[in-house]
Amino acid sequence: MKREWTTLKEYDEILFDFYKGIAKITINRPRYRNAFTPKTVKEMIDAMHICRENSDIYVVVFTGAGDKAFCAGGDQNVKGIGGYVDDSGVPRLNVLDLQKMIRSIPKPVIAMVNGYAIGGGHVLHVVCDLTIASENAIFGQTGPKVGSFDGGFGSSYLARIVGQKKAREIWYLCRQYSAKEALDMGLVNCVVPHDQLEDETVKWCEEIMEKSPIALRMIKAGLNAELDGQAGIQELAGNATLLYYFTEESQEGRKAFLEKRKPDFKKFPKFP
Ligand code: S0N
């Protein structure tokens, strides 16, 4: 089905579109198999800020332009001494900030993989909450072959998904895996014919959007917390604090302070 996406904001290296509660961030560098530069990542980070703030957005979808690649990782043309060099000559690895945003935004993020998800592009789909792949999708890491590695989410979280042995195989051998193989190892949630990729993804988004946003937010924070150490606990606890602020019990503390009296917390129930 052809749907009318509206542009949320214009960028140089990404597209940022909206359709009925769904924000879609598309890496728009098909000439380079959607490899990202520091600028691409900077734009994705900006779009993610908007996704977090805009309450009309329920779900975020990441994808790549064209039918050949989701993302082929860091653009090797701009890799200099010290990493990926931006327009002002400063080396950056700002994709790590993007990974953290994908993980901590309190909304589901779905990778819609339409071809190669390779290197840092593979890591991007790994950190997304869900992955929907087309039959032509191909997955793999290349770091040890091309002079790079991701020892963060790209390896430890990958291992949580596919297991330690498989994660080591993926990184040590730098092989490429078909969509079917990815499905078999639990690396993606489903595989569909290429011409049904967007329809299927939107269907998943619509099912998600029928659910309670706070429940989804708490589930995401809870699933992250187990793996993310103090940062994960901080996110989960922050969500608990958000809910506490909605209670009369919390309001009593604030009111008592402003009215210069002792708070009366005794009237509130102590649930078993
Ligand atoms: C994707 C591949 C397998 C596609 O092969 P295919 O279809 O045969 O196309 P090609 O002819 O190879 O490519 C078409 C044109 O696109 C250019 N191109 C492709 N990928 C890149 C790229 N990454 N950078 C720059 N250009 C790219 C080709 O050069 C070609 O151009 P022309 O027509 O001029 O020849 C195949 O293309 C491939 O293997 N690509 C390279 C994949 C790769 O190694 N990516 C880099 C991996 N490294 C990273 O991502 C670094 C970041 C990282 O790992 C990291 C480190 C620490 C912490 C976090 C991260 C993180 O990113 O998460």
CATH H-level superfamily of 6-210: 2-enoyl-CoA Hydratase; Chain A, domain 1 (3.90.226.10)
75 lines ligand 1 (CB under 6 A): yes
Contact status, residue 253 vs residue 263, Cβ threshold 8 Å: yes
- Residue 117, phi-psi category: left (phi > 0), alpha (psi -120 to 50), beta (remainder): beta
- Domain boundaries defined on the chain: 6-210, 213-259
**Residue whose C-alpha is closest to residue 119's, from 165, 53, 64:** 64
The pTM for the full model equals: 0.96
Distance 223 CA to ligand 1 centre (A): 31
DSSP letter string, 95-113 = HHHHHHHHHHSSS-EEEEE
CA atoms within 13 A on the CB side of 264: 3
Contact status, residue 41 vs residue 83, Cβ threshold 8 Å: no
CB atoms near residue 64 (< 10 Å) = 30
116 lines ligand 1 (CB under 6 A): yes
129 lines ligand 1 (CB under 6 A): no
How many residues are recorded in the chain? 272
List the end-to-end C-alpha distance of the chain, in Å, as a whole number.
Answer: 51
In this prediction, residue 91 carries a pLDDT of 85
CATH number of 213-259: 1.10.12.10
CB-based contacts of 120: which residues, under 8 Å, 6+ apart?
36, 71, 73, 74, 95, 148, 150, 154
Distance 9 CA to ligand 1 centre (A): 27
Runs of H (alpha helix) within the chain? 38-53, 95-104, 120-127, 143-146, 158-162, 164-173, 179-184, 197-209, 213-225, 229-245, 248-258
CB atoms near residue 271 (< 10 Å) = 4
In this prediction, residue 55 carries a pLDDT of 97
ipTM of the complex: 0.95
Mutate which of 28, 31, 33 for ligand 1 pocket (most atoms within 8 A of beta carbon): 33
Q: What are phi and psi of 224, to 5 degrees?
A: -70, -40
pLDDT (tens place) for every residue of the chain, 272 residues total: 889 999 999 999 999 999 999 999 999 999 999 999 999 999 999 999 999 999 999 999 999 999 999 999 999 998 888 878 888 888 888 999 999 999 999 999 999 999 999 999 999 999 999 999 999 999 999 999 999 999 999 999 999 999 999 999 999 999 999 999 999 999 999 999 999 999 999 999 999 999 999 999 999 999 999 999 999 999 999 999 999 999 999 999 999 999 999 999 999 999 99
Distance 23 CA to ligand 1 centre (A): 26
**CA-based max dimension of the chain:** 67
In this prediction, residue 94 carries a pLDDT of 94
In this prediction, residue 88 carries a pLDDT of 85
In this prediction, residue 86 carries a pLDDT of 86
Q: Which numbered atom of ligand 1 lies nearest the CA of 68?
A: 7
